């Protein structure tokens, strides 16, 4: 048996891009950045940013493209894979790709503090209230 699941809590690096397959299925793509602090050998704190390319399908794709914008915090669950490609200059590159299965909107699109996170469920994209996550709620 094998298992591939990733949970990300980060911020959108760009506005979502919505497109449709030839069969009419919605597909939404965007990037998410996660940040962590580490001390280097000299003891100074360094910010480490990791970028992920995220893809959503179906009703969740449409919901994400409607409500998410660059910089907005988001919680993502999905499957992770490492994608290898060659850039324009002929250099071999790698990117972390997440095929999202669940998304939670954290915070408010207006930026006010009294916000209710929204969830776009995998089963049909229904919205429901979820408790807001803080750094203390994340087990790592």
Per the prediction, the chain carries an average pLDDT of 81
Answer yes or no: are the C-beta atoms of 122 and 59 closer than 8 Å.
Answer: no
pLDDT digits (tens, 9 = 90+) for 36-56: 998 888 889 999 999 999 999
3 state DSSP class of 66? helix
Percentage, residues of the chain above pLDDT 70: 76
Answer yes or no: are the C-beta atoms of 86 and 92 closer than 8 Å.
Answer: yes
Handedness of CA 65, 10, 140, 100 (dihedral sign): positive
pTM above 0.85, yes or no: no
Residue 127 or 20, more confident: 20
CATH number for 6-36+45-137 (one of 3.40.440.10, 2.40.50.140, 3.40.1080.10, 3.50.50.60): it is: 2.40.50.140
In sequence order, what are the residues at sequence separation of 6 or more whose Cβ sits closer than 8 angstroms to the Cβ of residue 72?
Answer: 11, 12, 105, 106, 107, 109
What does the domain layout of the chain look like in residue ranges? Answer: 6-36+45-137
State the pLDDT at residue 91: 93
């Amino acid at each position: 048996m094998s298992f591939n699941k990733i949970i990300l809590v980060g911020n959108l690096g760009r506005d979502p891009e919505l497109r449709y397959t030839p069969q009419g299925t919605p597909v939404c793509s965007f990037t998410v950045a996660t940040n962590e602090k580490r001390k280097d050998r000299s003891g100074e704190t360094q910010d480490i940013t990791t970028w992920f390319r995220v893809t959503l399908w179906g009703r969740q794709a449409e919901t994400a493209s409607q409500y998410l914008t660059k910089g907005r915090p988001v919680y993502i669950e999905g499957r992770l894979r490492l994608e290898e490609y060659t850039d324009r200059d002929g250099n071999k590159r790698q990117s972390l790709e997440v095929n999202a299965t669940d998304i939670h909107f954290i915070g408010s699109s207006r930026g006010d503090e009294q916000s209710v996170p929204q969830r776009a469920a995998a089963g049909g994209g229904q919205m429901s209230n979820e408790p807001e996550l803080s750094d203390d709620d994340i087990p790592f």
